[in-house]
């Protein structure tokens, strides 16, 4: 049976559960004499740095060095896109920002040293909210615009217009493994930095920049991550550069590993959003026009905020056709951590606003919202608001109708109505929501990947590629693709740690395209090796190479066959090269910013979910009773991995929309800095019943092995929970309500106030 499509466990599953799988910080035991780093952090959100006095700290036993800007030989700058993130700042831009780093013989010594560093700050006015930032005109980007049709004219003459605004909360990544880096010397006395990074090539670049070295002198390795979720797309760079700087200055290996409080206070999160809109519709709930303004709280620096805002603009349509739409997005600058990539990358925020609008239109028309949704679905032949044809538009209806059947929606809707009629203090809500998600980096040049595949004379294989493993199962899928293409057993394929000295200039493993891009590159490398081997095997077996079959560790043509290992040994003797690179670049994608037109995505994925909740009217507390999902992953390369991604993505989305709430106090200090104050979804928040189906007969002809990307899209399916809560809230009203305002995140408190409002 083919390795591709087989339901096998994650390639490190056993290591994950036994603790055998090693992570960056576990490599510390190989580096006797490594120094430990601890930050000196700002106690103000905005300030001028007047002076740092490290004398008392450096006099303490066990303190080796206090690193400051004066120690940087290269550029004191870690910004990935714009140069606006000094590694050692002179202007403090957020509460908890590292100002200096103390290196100690032990972690304890470094901590005591950090407490003894005297920092003099002059407090400046801090801008902490999006409204304040807008008033003060503090922007990190220009307005980004996509315009389609003539929304202003349609709204001006429409008889049904509604308007409003909506605020959406951010989200902490809460990967189990906090940021970590370990810098040591390689065999040539040059820096080798182990980093928990999604983007080793960029981490290498930032290290080289800070050290003032060419990139060829710096090697970066990402062994695996204990979760990343976008939080390590750019945010790991500074910590790796810091470790490398410590190594270069002291000559000793340096280890940085944040504790949870520092990780939460220092690193970027999902962007909070604020939306303002005007919508025109007819009395049947047909969407006519929309003018939408989106603001994102980008925090203090640009980071990836522009691309994130663009992805929000690309996803505010949801699965619905807006004949006239103008959406303008702008990133606001505040004195907070620099907000960053997080699963969905602005897409969830955009799609949430889209669903909010659909619900408002439906309630204004007093129509069932699922009917209004279906009425406005994109159809075959439609273009999105940025002009991309929706090649598979009919899949929206397919996933929607399929989950409606599997989840028994119509019968349960009647049951819920009956329950609500007989329960004055508890109400149930049911909602069905479809999603679409565009696959590709919207920055077109990032859509490329490389691989290096090595076959040894005994037939065993090493695979290197540019993607990083963060638990999502990329290495598992790559192993399946390589095994299947070469026709060898899975255990003949060894996946190597991701290193910049194997594949250069890689993109982040992000935008859900890790397997699409790296999988294609690995397949191409394996195909060129197979072609060379087939030519030789054809000669040895006396058949046409095209008649050969590579499978199960053998190369066969009818009765005649060879072991793959024999063939590899023979190829070596015959001086046939047994290693190959593969390179893949997604064809045909482009986007023109000034006109807001193009084809930013190679394709779309689709899914639909039904959620059912039960809400207590006295407290606003609720329970998720049942979730049904149908999700499109094309032909699944690895069904267990994909199922895990769908379930995990959904639950992470559920956390964002319901219980996870970031609170900054009046001084800009993040008040929610640990699991005790920041409520993560746990088993108690999971649905009592949870059914996930991979959409059958969903072959995607333009992607490796007919598959589709899966990492981020299922996150959006959790929007069904928000809409189910809204339905339950509405049921507390006497009769129909024309609007249900529901805070986001919809904590029990937010649900309680929503109930009060409809009452
Ligand atoms: N799954 C796990 N277990 N851990 C993670 O950190 N990150 C998500 C998703 N699934 C993540 C995950 C994000 S944000 C992305 S972009 C994709 O995985 C990246 O991997 P892929 O492109 O290989 O799907
Ligand atoms: N997704 C994730 N990361 C990115 C993107 C994107 O679309 N563009 C640039 N970095
Ligand atoms: Mo994922 S947010 O693209 O790393």
247 closest CA partner among 171, 194, 325: 194
Distance CA 236, CA 238 (A): 6
Dist. CA 270 → ligand 2 center (Å): 13
Q: For residue 627, which phi and psi values (nearest 5 degrees)? A: -130, 135
Task: Report the nearest-CA residue for atom 8 of ligand 1.
Answer: 229
The DSSP H or E segment spanning 16 is helix 13-18
- Spatial neighbors of 615 by CB under 8 A, at least 6 apart, are 426, 427, 428, 429, 621, 622, 725, 728, 729, 732, 751, 755
Question: Considering just the CA atoms, what is the radius of gyration of the chain in Å?
Answer: 27
Centre a 10 Å sphere on the Cβ of residue 428 and count the other Cβ atoms it contains: 23
Task: Report the nearest-CA residue for atom 2 of ligand 2.
Answer: 511
Distance CA 709, CA 517 (A): 10
Q: Ligand 1 pocket check: which of 269, 512, 521, 634 to mutate, most ligand atoms within 8 Å of Cβ?
A: 512
DSSP H helices, 512-638, are 514-541, 564-573
Q: Ligand 3 pocket check: which of 233, 309, 340, 467 to mutate, most ligand atoms within 8 Å of Cβ?
A: 233
Is the separation of the CB atoms in 180 and 257 below 8 Å?
yes
Residue-wise pLDDT for 7-51, tens only, equals 999 999 999 999 999 999 999 999 999 999 999 999 999 999 999
Catalytic, out of 370, 614, 712, 723: 712
Look at strands 426-439 and 448-455 and give their pairing.
unpaired
Q: For residue 753, which phi and psi values (nearest 5 degrees)? A: -65, -35
**What is the per-residue pLDDT for 1?**
75
Q: Ligand 2 pocket check: which of 197, 237, 347, 442 to mutate, most ligand atoms within 8 Å of Cβ?
A: 442
Burial of 126 per CB tally in 10 Å (0-12, 13-18, 19+): buried
DSSP readout, 636-655? -SSHHHHHHHHHHHHHHHHH
Dist. CA 470 → ligand 1 center (Å): 6
Verify whether ligand 3 is closer than 6 Å to residue 230 (CB atom). yes
Q: Which long-range contacts link 27-30 to residues 24+ away (Cβ below 8 Å)? A: 27/182, 27/194, 27/223, 28/182, 28/255
Q: For residue 133, which phi and psi values (nearest 5 degrees)? A: -65, -40
Q: Which residues line ligand 2 (CB under 6 A)?
A: 233, 304, 307, 311, 341, 345, 441-443, 446, 510-511
Please list the ranges in the chain whose pLDDT falls under 70. Answer: none
Q: Ligand 1 pocket check: which of 472, 645, 650, 703 to mutate, most ligand atoms within 8 Å of Cβ?
A: 472
Q: Which residues pair with 554 in a beta bridge?
A: 551, 563
- Please report where in the chains the tokens 């095994």 appear, as a residue: 483
Verify whether ligand 1 is closer than 6 Å to residue 230 (CB atom). yes
Is the separation of the CB atoms in 607 and 399 below 8 Å?
yes
Is the separation of the CB atoms in 135 and 127 below 8 Å?
no
Distance CA 430, CA 752 (A): 18
Q: b or e along 299-331 (b: 16 or more beta carbons within 10 Å of the residue's beta carbon)?
A: bbbbbbbbbbbbbbbbbbbbbbbbbbbbbbbbb
Verify whether ligand 1 is closer than 6 Å to residue 658 (CB atom). no
Q: For residue 608, which phi and psi values (nearest 5 degrees)? A: -150, 145
Look at strands 325-332 and 287-297 and give their pairing.
parallel
Q: Which residues pair with 465 in a beta bridge?
A: 451
Centre a 10 Å sphere on the Cβ of residue 680 and count the other Cβ atoms it contains: 13
Task: Report the nearest-CA residue for atom 6 of ligand 2.
Answer: 441
Q: Which long-range contacts link 574-579 to residues 24+ away (Cβ below 8 Å)? A: 574/536, 576/532, 576/533, 576/536, 577/532, 578/454, 578/455, 578/456, 578/457, 578/529, 579/452, 579/453, 579/454, 579/455, 579/529
Q: For residue 433, which phi and psi values (nearest 5 degrees)? A: -130, 130
- 3-class secondary-structure state, position 397: helix
469 closest CA partner among 181, 203, 196, 192: 196
Ligand nearest to the CA of 270: 3
Is the separation of the CB atoms in 78 and 206 below 8 Å?
yes
Angle, alpha carbons 176-180-182 (nearest 5°): 145
DSSP 566: H
Look at strands 461-465 and 493-495 and give their pairing.
parallel
Distance CA 684, CA 704 (A): 38
Prediction pTM value: 0.98
- 464-to-34, 234, 356, 489 alpha-carbon distances in Å: 29, 22, 44, 18
Distance CA 28, CA 750 (A): 45
435 closest CA partner among 710, 622, 741, 146: 710
Active site residue 712: yes
Task: Report the nearest-CA residue for atom 7 of ligand 2.
Answer: 441
Distance CA 257, CA 654 (A): 29
Is the separation of the CB atoms in 270 and 171 below 8 Å?
yes
The DSSP H or E segment spanning 658 is helix 639-658
**What is the per-residue pLDDT for 112?**
98
Atom of ligand 3 nearest to the CA of 233: 4
722 closest CA partner among 629, 645, 655, 677: 655
Residue 96, phi-psi category: left (phi > 0), alpha (psi -120 to 50), beta (remainder): left
Full strand arrangement of the beta sheet holding 35-41 = 63-67, 98-104, 35-41, 254-257, 180-185, 191-195, 219-222, 498-499
Verify whether ligand 1 is closer than 6 Å to residue 473 (CB atom). no
The DSSP H or E segment spanning 207 is helix 200-211
Distance CA 342, CA 170 (A): 10
Ligand nearest to the CA of 342: 3
Angle, alpha carbons 77-78-84 (nearest 5°): 70
Longest CA–CA span in the chain (Å) reads 85
- 29-to-22, 38, 253, 439 alpha-carbon distances in Å: 11, 19, 11, 40
Distance CA 256, CA 236 (A): 11
Task: Report the nearest-CA residue for atom 8 of ligand 2.
Answer: 441
Distance CA 482, CA 394 (A): 33
């Amino acid at each position: 049976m083919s390795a591709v499509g087989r339901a096998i466990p994650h390639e490190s599953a056993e290591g994950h559960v036994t603790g055998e799988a090693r992570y960056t910080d576990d490599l510390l035991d190989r580096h006797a004499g490594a120094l430990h780093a601890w930050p000196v952090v700002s106690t103000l959100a905005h300030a001028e740095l007047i002076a740092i006095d490290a004398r008392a700290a450096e006099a303490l036993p066990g303190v080796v060095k206090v690193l400051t800007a004066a120690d940087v030989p290269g550029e004191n700058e870690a910004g990935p896109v714009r140069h606006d993130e000094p590694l050692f700042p002179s202007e403090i831009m957020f509460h908890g920002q590292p100002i200096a780093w103390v290196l100690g013989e032990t972690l304890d010594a470094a901590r005591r040293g950090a407490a003894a560093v005297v920092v003099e700050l002059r407090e400046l006015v801090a801008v902490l909210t999006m409204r304040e930032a807008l008033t003060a005109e503090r922007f990190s980007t220009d307005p980004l615009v996509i315009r389609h049709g003539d929304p202003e004219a349609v709204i001006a003459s429409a008889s049904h217009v509604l308007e409003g605004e909506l605020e959406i909360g951010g989200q902490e990544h809460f990967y189990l493994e906090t940021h970590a880096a370990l810098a040591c010397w390689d065999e040539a006395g040059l820096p080798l930095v182990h980093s928990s990074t999604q983007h080793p090539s960029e981490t290498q670049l930032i290290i080289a920049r800070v050290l003032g070295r060419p990139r060829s002198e710096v090697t970066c390795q990402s062994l695996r991550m204990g979760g990343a979720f976008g939080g390590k797309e750019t945010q790991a760079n500074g910590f790796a550069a810091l470790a490398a700087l410590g190594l270069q200055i002291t000559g000793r290996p340096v280890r940085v590993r944040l504790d949870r409080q520092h990780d939460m206070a220092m690193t970027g999160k999902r962007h909070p959003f604020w939306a303002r809109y005007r919508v025109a519709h007819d009395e049947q709930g047909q969407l006519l026009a929309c003018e939408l303004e989106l603001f994102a709280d980008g925090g203090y620096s640009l980071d990836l905020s522009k691309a994130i805002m663009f992805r929000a603009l690309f996803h505010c349509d949801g699965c619905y056709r807006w004949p006239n739409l103008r959406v303008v997005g702008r990133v606001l600058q505040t004195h907070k951590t620099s907000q960053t990539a997080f699963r969905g990358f602005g897409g969830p925020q955009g799609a949430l606003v889209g669903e909010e609008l659909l619900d408002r239109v439906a309630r204004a028309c007093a129509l069932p919202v699922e009917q209004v949704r279906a009425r406005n679905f994109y159809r075959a032949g439609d273009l999105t608001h940025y002009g991309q044809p929706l090649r598979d538009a009919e899949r929206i209806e397919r996933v929607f109708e399929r989950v409606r059947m599997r989840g028994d929606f119509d019968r349960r809707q009647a049951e819920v109505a009956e329950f609500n009629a007989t329960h004055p203090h508890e109400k149930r809500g049911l909602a069905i929501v479809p999603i679409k998600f565009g696959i590709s980096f919207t920055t077109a040049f990032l859509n490329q990947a490389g691989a290096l595949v090595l076959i040894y004379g005994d037939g065993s294989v090493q695979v290197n590629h540019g993607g990083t493993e963060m638990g999502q199962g990329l290495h598992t899928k790559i192993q399946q693709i390589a095994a299947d293409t070469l026709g060898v057993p899975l255990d003949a394929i060894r996946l190597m740690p991701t290193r910049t000295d194997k594949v250069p200039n890689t993109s982040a493993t992000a935008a859900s395209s890790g397997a699409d891009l790296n999988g294609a590159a690995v397949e191409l490398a394996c195909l060129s090796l197979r072609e060379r081997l087939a030519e030789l095997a054809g000669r040895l077996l006396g058949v046409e190479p095209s008649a050969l079959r590579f499978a199960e560790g053998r190369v066969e043509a009818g009765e005649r066959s060879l072991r793959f290992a024999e063939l590899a040994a023979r190829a070596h003797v015959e001086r046939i090269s047994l290693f190959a690179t593969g390179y893949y670049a997604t064809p045909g994608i482009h986007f023109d910013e000034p006109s807001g037109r193009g084809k930013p995505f190679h394709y779309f994925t689709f899914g639909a979910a039904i959620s059912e909740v039960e809400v207590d009217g006295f407290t606003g507390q609720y329970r998720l009773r049942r979730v049904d999902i149908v999700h499109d992953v094309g032909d699944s390369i690895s069904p267990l991995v994909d199922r895990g991604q769908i379930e995990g993505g959904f639950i992470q989305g559920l956390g964002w929309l319901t219980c996870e709430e970031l609170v900054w106090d009046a001084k800009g200090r993040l008040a929610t800095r640990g699991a005790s104050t920041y409520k993560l979804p746990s088993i108690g928040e999971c649905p009592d019943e949870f059914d996930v189906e991979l959409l059958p007969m969903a072959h995607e002809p333009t992607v490796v092995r007919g598959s589709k990307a899966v990492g981020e899209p299922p996150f959006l399916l959790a929007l069904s929970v928000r809409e189910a809560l809204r339905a339950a809230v509405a049921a507390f009203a006497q009769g129909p309500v024309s609007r249900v305002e529901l805070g986001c995140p919809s904590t029990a408190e937010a649900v309680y106030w929503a109930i009060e409002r409809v009452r």
